[in-house]
Chains A and B, each alone.
Chain A
Amino acid sequence: MENNGKTYWGTVLGLLTKILIIWFLVSFGAGILFASALNSISLGGYPLGFWFAHQGSIYIFIALIFYYAKKMGDIDRQFDVHEE
C-alpha cells in the first residue's frame, strides 16, 4: 500500500505538471511573451496574440480543469483510492 501510495502521488504530480505547462504556455506564453509575434497571424478578425489574451486562454483554462477532473477520476480508480 505504501508503494502503491507513492505511485499514485507520482502519477498525480505528472498530470499536474503536464497541465500547468499548457496553462503557462497559453496565458503567459501566447498571451504575453509571444503575443506580438503571434499577432501577425489572424483568427477571423482577431490578431492571434490578442485573441489568446482576451479570449483563448480562458477557454483553454476551462478545458484544462475538466480534463484534470476526468483524468483524476481515472487515476483514482486505477489505484483504487476513489470515493465509495
Chain B
Amino acid sequence: MDLQTITYLVVGASFALYIGIAIWARAGSTSEFYVAGGGVHPVTNGMATAADWMSAASFISMAGLIANMGYGGGLFLMGWTGGYVLLAMLLAPYLRKFGKFTVPQFIGDRFYSKTASTVAVACLLVASLTYIIGQMTGVGVAFSRFLGVSSEAGIYIGMAIVFMYAVFGGMKGITYTQVAQYCVLIAAYLVPAFFISLQLTGNPIPQLGLGSDIVGTETSLLAKLDLVVKDLGFDQYTTSMPGSMLNMFMYTLSLMIGTAGLPHVIMRFFTVPTVKDARSSAGWALVFIALLYTTAPAVGAMAKLNLHGTVNSAVGLETQADGQLGVNPDVVAANADLYATEASLRYEDRPDWMKRWEKTGLLKFEDKNGDGRIQYYNDATKNPEAQAKAEAAGWKGNELTVNPDIMVMANPEIALLPNWVIALVAAGGLAAALSTAAGLLMAISSAVSHDLVKGVFNPNISEKNELMAGKISMAVAIVVAGYLGLNPPGFAAGTVALAFGIAASSLFPAIMMGIFSKKMNKEGAIAGMLAGLFVTLFYVFAHKGLFFIKGTEYVGLIGGPNSFFGITPEAFGAVGAGVNFLVAFLVDKVTKEPPEHIQHMVEAVRVPRGSSAVDGAH
C-alpha cells in the first residue's frame, strides 16, 4: 500500500472512533452538556485536559520553535506547564467547591454583580475567539499537509467532525473524544521520538537520550550540537536566549498566569466529582502534558542535529546500508572541518524526504555560490571566526531555508521510519487541532447560553430550553470559528499571545482575589479587571496596531518598541496582572466591604466539606 492510502486509512479510522464516541455520549441534561454530569474520573479528566491544552501548535510547531531558540525555548516549556501548579493550588479546587457551570458565573456570584460577570464574559469571548482562529487555521494546515486536500476543504471536514460530537454531546461528548484524541496524539509524538533517540544515542527514551553521549562515542549529544552550531555561526544551543533575562522571566510568568486563567482549561475541573479529585486531576493533566512537553526538547535538538548531519557529512552522521541515518563514531569524535568542500552535501545526492518537502515550499534551496552543494550556516553571524571560515571556503550565503514545522512533520521520514508511523503523525496532528478547538467551542457556547441567555436575558428559562440554547450557541460558535478560520483576519498570527495576555491580566487575578481575599468587593474586582485589560491591550496594540489593524501602530507614543524595560508585548500579561491586583486593592480600600453573605460564601468555598454535585441553578 502506498503512503497516501495508509494515511487515509489511519486518519479515517481515528475519525470513525470519534464519531462512535459521539453517538455513545449524547447529552440529555444541562448538567451533562456543561460539565459532563460532574462524574468524570480525575485521571480521565486529566487526560482530556491534556488533549484540550495541547493544540496543533504544541504538536506541530513547538519542537521546531525550541530547535530554533535553543535554551530560550525553555520559556514555553516552563510557562505552559508551571501554570498547572497555580491552577491546582489557587483556583481549581475552590471553583469546583463553588459548584457552578462557568467561570463568569463564579465572578458574577462572588462579586454580586451582573457587570462583573458581563466583563468576565467579554474577556472570555475575546480570549477564546482569538485562540480558536489559530486552531481552525491549524486544522486546515494539518489536513492540507497530511492528506493533500485544500486547507479550505480541511476546515469544512474539521467543522463537520467537531459538530457531530460537540453539538449533541456537549462537554460529555467532548471529554470522551478528547481522551481518544490524547491517545492518538501522544502515540504519534512518541513513536518517532523513540526511534530517533535510539539511532543517535542508543537510548530509546528521548528524555534520557538528550542527556546521553552520541552512540559509540564519548561526546555528549548536546556538546556536539553546541560545537556544530557555534562553528557554523549560530548561537550556542544550550545557552542562547532571545531578548534579555528579564524578558524571559516575564514571558515565562505571563504564560504561567495565562495558562491558569484560560477559561477552557479551568472549566474542565468542573467535571470531576469532588474537591479532592480536582486537586489530583490537575496533577494527572500535567503528567499527560509532560509526556509531550519533555519529549519536545529532545525532538527539537535531535532533529536539528539530524538536519545538520544530513547536509554536512563532517558532523558525523551518514546514510547507512539499510538507508537509515546513522552515526559514524570516528567522524563525530574527530570534529572534522565543517567548511571542507567535500563535507557539504551535493544537491543531486539529497535524500528523498528533502525532495518531497521542497515541493511544499517548507524547504528551499538556492545555490548562491554555484557549486552544486548545500551550504547551511548562519550568514548573518557576528562571530568573526565563523565569518572568516565561510569567506575562506568560498561560501556566498546560506543556501537552505527550513520551516521549523518540518522538525516534527518530516521527523519520521528523516529517520526513514515505516509508512504507518508517518500516517500516525498525520492522525496525531489532526487530533491535537480538533481537541483544542472543541474545548474552546465549549467555553464559548456555555458563556453565551448559560451566562448571557440564562444569566442576563432570561433567568427563568426551562432546563430543556437552556439545553437547546446551549446546542444552538455551540452550532453558531462552530460556524463563526469556521468562518474566521477560512477568512483569518490579518491579525491572526499575533492573537494567541493576546489570549494569554487577557487571561493573565483580567480573569486570573479576579478569580484568585475572589477566593483568597474575603474583603475584596465588586468595585475593586471590576476596576482591577478593566485596568489590567486596558494596560495590556494598550501595550499590545501599540506594537501590533489598534485592534491589530495594520498602520495604526502607535509604538512611538510609548517611546519605541519594548519600551517598558525591554519587555515584549507577548511577555506583558504578567505586568497587566500586577496592575489588576494593585488597582483592585486600592479601589477596595476606599469603597465599602462586601455584604455579610458574600463573606460567608467565600468561607464556604474554602473548605471542601459540603461539596455536592455541580448545579448551575441560581
Contact with B along A9-24 (1 / 0, CB 8 A): 1001000100110010
Let me know if A66 and B608 touch, CB within 8 A.
no
Let me know if B609 and A83 touch, CB within 8 A.
yes
Kindly provide the distance from the CB of A29 to the nearest chain B CB, expressed in whole angstroms.
Answer: 10
Interface residues in A52-84 (C-beta closer than 8 Å to B): 53-55, 57-59, 61-62, 64-66, 68-69, 72-73, 76, 81-84
Summed over the interface, the residue pairs from A and B with CB atoms below 8 Å come to a total of 141
For the residues of A in contact with B, the DSSP-based class is helix
Judged by a CB distance under 8 angstroms, whether B115 is at the interface is no
Chain B's closest residue to A65 (CB) is B283
Chain A's closest residue to B610 (CB) is A83
Let me know if A55 and B88 touch, CB within 8 A.
no
Let me know if A66 and B280 touch, CB within 8 A.
yes
Chain B's closest residue to A62 (CB) is B286
Most chain A CB neighbours (cut-off 10 Å) among B221, B223, B238: B238
Chain B residues with CB under 8 Å of A45's CB are: 210-213, 220-223
Judged by a CB distance under 8 angstroms, whether B346 is at the interface is no
Judged by a CB distance under 8 angstroms, whether B611 is at the interface is yes
Contact with B along A26-39 (1 / 0, CB 8 A): 01100111011001
| In the complex with contacts A73-B276, A83-B609, A35-B85 CB distance below 8 A | no
Judged by a CB distance under 8 angstroms, whether B239 is at the interface is yes
- In the complex, what distance in Å separates the CA atom of A54 from the CA atom of B239? 12
- In the complex, what distance in Å separates the CA atom of A27 from the CA atom of B255? 13
- In the complex, what distance in Å separates the CA atom of A36 from the CA atom of B240? 11
Which of these, B208, B212, B608, contacts A83 with CB under 8 Å? Answer: B608
Which of these, A5, A23, A76, contacts B608 with CB under 8 Å? Answer: A76
- In the complex, what distance in Å separates the CA atom of A28 from the CA atom of B88? 19
- In the complex, what distance in Å separates the CA atom of A36 from the CA atom of B245? 11
Let me know if A32 and B249 touch, CB within 8 A.
yes
| In the complex with contacts A28-B252, A33-B245, A5-B290 CB distance below 8 A | no
Q: Please report the total number of A residues contacting B with Cβ < 8 Å.
A: 44
Let me know if B609 and A84 touch, CB within 8 A.
yes
For the residues of B in contact with A, the DSSP-based class is helix
Judged by a CB distance under 8 angstroms, whether B89 is at the interface is yes
Chain A's closest residue to B70 (CB) is A50
- In the complex, what distance in Å separates the CA atom of A30 from the CA atom of B89? 22
Contact with A along B104-116 (1 / 0, CB 8 A): 0000000000000
Let me know if B82 and A8 touch, CB within 8 A.
no
Let me know if A72 and B211 touch, CB within 8 A.
no
- In the complex, what distance in Å separates the CA atom of A25 from the CA atom of B84? 16
Judged by a CB distance under 8 angstroms, whether B78 is at the interface is yes
Chain B residues with CB under 8 Å of A50's CB are: 71, 74, 222, 238-239
Interface residues in A38-53 (C-beta closer than 8 Å to B): 39, 43-47, 49-51, 53
Contact with A along B207-235 (1 / 0, CB 8 A): 11011110000001111000000000000
Chain A residues with CB under 8 Å of B274's CB are: 83
Which of these, B213, B279, B611, contacts A68 with CB under 8 Å? Answer: B279
Let me know if B77 and A58 touch, CB within 8 A.
yes
Let me know if A53 and B71 touch, CB within 8 A.
yes
- In the complex, what distance in Å separates the CA atom of A55 from the CA atom of B252? 15
Judged by a CB distance under 8 angstroms, whether B417 is at the interface is no
Interface residues in B143-173 (C-beta closer than 8 Å to A): none
Let me know if A66 and B609 touch, CB within 8 A.
no
Chain A residues with CB under 8 Å of B282's CB are: 65
Chain A residues with CB under 8 Å of B75's CB are: 53
Let me know if B211 and A28 touch, CB within 8 A.
no
Let me know if B283 and A32 touch, CB within 8 A.
no
Chain B residues with CB under 8 Å of A53's CB are: 71, 74-75, 77-78
Chain A's closest residue to B253 (CB) is A28
Chain B residues with CB under 8 Å of A27's CB are: 78, 82, 252
Contact with A along B65-100 (1 / 0, CB 8 A): 010000101110110011011001110010000000
Let me know if B607 and A81 touch, CB within 8 A.
yes
Chain A's closest residue to B273 (CB) is A83
Let me know if B608 and A58 touch, CB within 8 A.
no
- In the complex, what distance in Å separates the CA atom of A66 from the CA atom of B282? 9
Let me know if B606 and A9 touch, CB within 8 A.
yes
- In the complex, what distance in Å separates the CA atom of A26 from the CA atom of B223? 23
Which of these, B212, B606, B609, contacts A44 with CB under 8 Å? Answer: B212
Judged by a CB distance under 8 angstroms, whether B603 is at the interface is yes
Kindly provide the distance from the CB of A81 to the nearest chain B CB, expressed in whole angstroms.
Answer: 4
Judged by a CB distance under 8 angstroms, whether B294 is at the interface is yes
Most chain A CB neighbours (cut-off 10 Å) among B75, B85, B286, B287: B85
Let me know if B280 and A23 touch, CB within 8 A.
no
Judged by a CB distance under 8 angstroms, whether B571 is at the interface is no
Chain B residues with CB under 8 Å of A57's CB are: 77-78, 81-82
Chain A residues with CB under 8 Å of B78's CB are: 27, 31, 53, 57-58
Chain A residues with CB under 8 Å of B208's CB are: 44
Which of these, A46, A59, A69, A81, contacts B609 with CB under 8 Å? Answer: A81
Let me know if B294 and A46 touch, CB within 8 A.
no
Most chain A CB neighbours (cut-off 10 Å) among B78, B81, B286, B603: B78
- In the complex, what distance in Å separates the CA atom of A59 from the CA atom of B78? 10
Chain A's closest residue to B80 (CB) is A58
Chain A residues with CB under 8 Å of B211's CB are: 43-46, 51
Shortest beta-carbon contacts, A-B, top 8: A45-B220, A53-B74, A65-B283, A44-B211, A69-B279, A54-B297, A46-B211, A81-B607
